[in-house]
Amino acid sequence: MPAFTADYVYPISSPPIRNGVVDMDETGRIRGVYDPASATYTAPSIAIGAPPQWHDGILIPGFINAHCHLELSHLRGRSATGKTLLPFLVDVVTLREVDQAEIDQAIAEQDRQMWERGIQAVGDICNKVDTAAVKRSSPITYYSFMEMFDFLQPERARASYDMYVPAYTAQPEPKSAVPHAPYTVSDGLYYLINQLNTGSETVSIHNQETPAEDLLFETGGGPFAEFFAGFGASLEHFHAPGTPSIFHALQRMDPRKRTLFVHNTLTTEEAILAAQAWGENGVYWATCPNANLYIENRLPRYERFLNTGAKVCVGTDSLTSNWQLDILEELRTIARYQSYVPFDELLRWATLNGAEALQLDHRMGSLEVGKQPGVLLMRDLEGQRPEHFRIGARTQVQRLV
C-alpha cells in the first residue's frame, strides 16, 4: 500500500495539513498521518524507494451515509417529485412489491455504486430481509435499523412487532429495532421496541419532515386522518398532546440509547436543545437534503443546528426520493442553497459525525492511526486555500483506498 499525499490532508479530527502524508499498511489501516513541515518528519515510504503518491486536491476519510433505505432501490423514479410526504408514503407502500429478482439486482447495484462513490458505512433502514445477503458480503459496513410501525393503532402493536422480529433476526450485526416516525407508532409498539434493544444500540426515528406531522400532534387536525383511512386505520382514539411531534417521541423513546433524528426539516432550536438535554448517550441529526427537495421542496434551516452545537450527519434516503445515493451530491446541495455552512463543517457532517452516530468511530470517520476509514481524493474544489474552499459544480471524489 503506497503512502498518499495531496495539497491538503483533512484528518477531520484535527486541522488540515498542507502537503500532508497518509501512510497505511496493506489492510488499509493507518500507520501515520504526517506533516512535512514538522522538524522530525521523514517520508514514511522513501526508505523502500517509493515516495508518497501525490494527488492534486485534498485527502479525506470515507463518507458515512447515516440514513438510507437500500431495500427501496428498485423504486428509482417511480414516485414523482414535489408530491409532499403523505402521497409519497402511499407510493412507497403501494409500489414496492415487484419481482424479487428486480429488487435483489437493484440492491446489489446500489451497494456497488455507493462503495465506488466513497461511502464507507451506511445506516440502513429496513423492513424486510431483502438487504441481508448483500450486507454480509459488501465492503461497506452497514448498521441496520429494523423499522417498525403500526399506524398508531394500539391493537395492532403486538401483531406488527411479531411481523418484524423475524426480519430483524435475519439482519447481520450491528443492528437495532426502531420506530418509523411519531405518527406511525403506538405507545405499545414503542414499548416493545424498547424491550428488544437490550444493549448499547443506536436507534433512529424520522422526525418533523412535513408540516402535517406537527399539525397532527399540536391540534389533532390535518391530512393524516385521510391518509390513515386509506390503510384501514383510524385516529378517533388519538389525543393530540399540543406539542410538536418530537416532544411526543422523546417521552416514549429510551434516552439511554444513542439517538439519530432523521430529516428534521422543520425542527426548531428549542426542540434541538430539548432533545440534546434528554439524550444520555448522544443525539445526532441526519439531514438528507436532496430527499427533502424531492418530496417537499424544502430544506432544514442549518443555522439552527450550527447555533445549538448539534451533531449533524448526512444521509441519502432512498432512490424513491433521490436521484442517486451519493453523499457528495448531498454536500453539493447544501453548499448551493445554504452556503454559509463552513466547508470543514460539511466534511465533519459527512464523515466523523456519521461514524459517531453509528458507533463506528473507533474504525472510521477520520484519518487517525489505527483506523481503517478509507481514503478519498476530493478535487476541483472552488477556492485556493482551506478558508476559501467550497464544493462546487465540478467537485469530484475518487476512492483511493
Q: What is the pLDDT of residues 251-294, one digit of tens each?
A: 999 999 999 999 999 999 999 999 999 999 999 999 999 999 99
**C-alpha–C-alpha distance, residues 20 and 52, integer Å:** 10
What digits encode the pLDDT tens for the residues 312-352?
999 999 999 999 999 999 999 999 999 999 999 999 999 99
* Separation CA 225–CA 294 (nearest Å): 24
Long-range contacts of 300-306 (CB under 8 A, 24+ apart): 300/263, 300/264, 300/265, 300/266, 300/267, 301/338, 302/334, 302/338, 302/340, 302/341, 303/338, 303/340, 304/267, 304/268, 304/269, 304/272, 305/264, 305/272, 306/341, 306/345
Question: Which pLDDT does position 2 carry in this prediction?
Answer: 83
Determine, yes or no, domain membership for 141: yes
Residues of the domain holding 178:
63-357
Backbone angles phi, psi at 4, to 5 degrees: -120, 145
The mean per-residue pLDDT over the stretch 35-53 comes to 73
Confidence check: pLDDT of 188 > 90: yes
CB atoms within 10 A of CB 349: 27
Q: Tell whether 364 is covered by a domain.
A: no
Torsion of CA 133, 134, 137, 143, to 10 degrees: -100
Count CB atoms within 10 A of the CB of residue 32. 12
Alpha helices in 230-326, H assignment, sequence order: 245-250, 269-278, 289-296, 303-307
Helix 327-337 to helix 289-296 angle, to the nearest 10 degrees?
70
Same domain, 185 and 278: yes
Same domain, 94 and 117: yes
Q: Is position 118 within any domain? A: yes
Structure confidence by residue, pLDDT tens digits, 130-176: 999 999 999 999 999 999 999 999 999 999 999 999 999 999 999 99
Domain count, the chain: 2
Same domain, 232 and 154: yes
Q: Are 339 and 53 in contact (CB under 8 A)?
A: no
Residue with cell 491538503: 8
Query: Model confidence at 1, in pLDDT bands (50, 70, 90)?
Result: confident
| 121 and 142, same domain (yes or no) | yes
Q: Do 206 and 328 lie in a common domain?
A: yes
Query: What is the predicted pLDDT for the residue at 240?
Result: 97
Place of cell 448483500: 134
